[in-house]
Structure 1
């Protein structure tokens, strides 16, 4: 009797081993969703980890988990490490190892004793929206030893259900986040994050500008007055003319016509005043063409800031690099700046 039980047990074990080694050693899980936002918006959200907790399917499981960010805020090298309850989210890290703008983000994952894996986001433009594919790949056997690898093959049978359900929840949360952002596609807008140095300027503001019949004549008159004051004070121009817009504490919008100057300023009279030019962390893009065609660029910049979790400050300005008196309208170059202040979810873009 005992011999039969032993033979039966050995036979079961042999079947367990043979079947186990016939099971796949690699696991692939994939889920997808369509998001009613352009690839530029969706890519921005998955090309870094600063906003990961706001849509991650695992963050609500362990509110006490600690997340640590390192490397650049986005793109290759951006890294997120987490440490939480072993029964809930455990510990590990993930790092972006490949980033192709608006099409692909690939990550290396390390779950410590549970092994390594790779995941990816693939983006496909669909009309004015995006099909987002979230995939997961791992080698179940690597680093697990013979028996550990055998058991891992059996566990691999459940990965699609376990991970797939998490991915479905995460994609649904990401969709809600993305669709709460502006729908404007900013993919063709080349935006830089810059540190603008402090400097002196002469400017005309307030009623002196409001009295002019239109913006062009306002600025032209103001710049003429500023240049006259520069000549009287023997001041050198330090940069292109600017039109500065600033929101005041009372909610009023004030426009300044300004020209950067070198050196200290004294003895001004009339409407021309001296001040400090805007400085600090700002975003900048370059507009090429007539001034009347700037509006779409501003819309794209607003969408860019929202997707990156950046809050626009109270000051923005246009810097007129080209002289309209000797430059064709379609060749004019204007640098557009906006000071930014970081919010809790800000991620400095690459």
Structure 2
């Protein structure tokens, strides 16, 4: 798997905060309800998402805290209204693409962490994932997920 250090442009995003047990069932429910809430909000406010759905993680403990959301134009981020909030993603990161089931994302995260350490990079939080494919339409073994980890 290939990883790279990258510099991204500032990216605003709308999200709802979520907390979940680190079980596949609990995370799937929390992520799904979060995406439904954010995309529903965007639809009612005339906001066009600029990315596939994203999750931004702030720790990797159980329960796990994260934001379920979508990248939007900076001008649309100011339209956030409770419970939907706005944030900005880090611009310095290491990144790669995971291909396969969500259940094996942890292995790719570990490889990304190892890559960053091997490059002498100081990594931190958040970590974020961009879910490029719809699991209802793409076979589990072919799902693509972009993975990012902030670096300082």
Q: TM-score over 0.5 for the alignment?
A: yes
Provide closer, same or farther for how the CA distance between residues 325 and 253 of structure 1 changes in structure 2, counting only shifts above 3 A: closer
| 3-state SS of paired residue (1:255) | strand
* Distance across 1 between alignment mates of 2:114 and 2:81: 41
Q: Does 1:266 align with 2:79?
A: yes
User: Partner of 2:39 in structure 1?
Assistant: 227
Trace 1:297-316 onto structure 2 (pairs within 5 A): 297-316=108-127
| 3-state SS of paired residue (1:214) | helix
What TM-score, normalized to structure 1? 0.39
Residue-by-residue CA offset, 1:167-225 (whole Å, 9 max, x unaligned): xxxxxxxxxxxxxxxxxxxxxx201111121122110114xx449x6001111101001
Q: Does 1:329 align with 2:136?
A: no
Structure 2, unaligned runs of 5 or more: none
Task: Report the number of matched residues.
Answer: 144
Structure 1, unaligned runs of 5 or more: 1-188, 342-350
Higher RCO (Cα < 8 Å, 6 or more apart): 2
Q: Does 1:202 align with 2:8?
A: no
Residue-by-residue CA offset, 1:68-97 (whole Å, 9 max, x unaligned): xxxxxxxxxxxxxxxxxxxxxxxxxxxxxx
Q: Does 1:290 align with 2:101?
A: yes
Residue-by-residue CA offset, 1:210-250 (whole Å, 9 max, x unaligned): 49x60011111010011111011100011111111125xxx
| 3-state SS of paired residue (2:95) | strand
Trace 1:17-36 onto structure 2 (pairs within 5 A): none
Aligned with 2:28 (options 207, 212, 216): 216
Trace 1:77-226 onto structure 2 (pairs within 5 A): 189-206=1-18, 209-210=19-20, 214-226=26-38
RMSD: 2.0
What TM-score, normalized to structure 2? 0.85
User: Partner of 2:92 in structure 1?
Assistant: 281
Q: Does 1:255 align with 2:66?
A: yes
Trace 1:5-44 onto structure 2 (pairs within 5 A): none
| 3-state SS of paired residue (2:58) | strand
Larger Cα-atom Rg: 1
* Distance across 2 between alignment mates of 1:313 and 1:267: 26
- Do the aligned partners of 2:132 and 2:145 also contact (CA within 8 Å) in 1? yes
- Do the aligned partners of 2:6 and 2:92 also contact (CA within 8 Å) in 1? yes
Once the two structures are TM-superposed, the CA of residue 335 in structure 1 deviates from its matched residue by 0.4
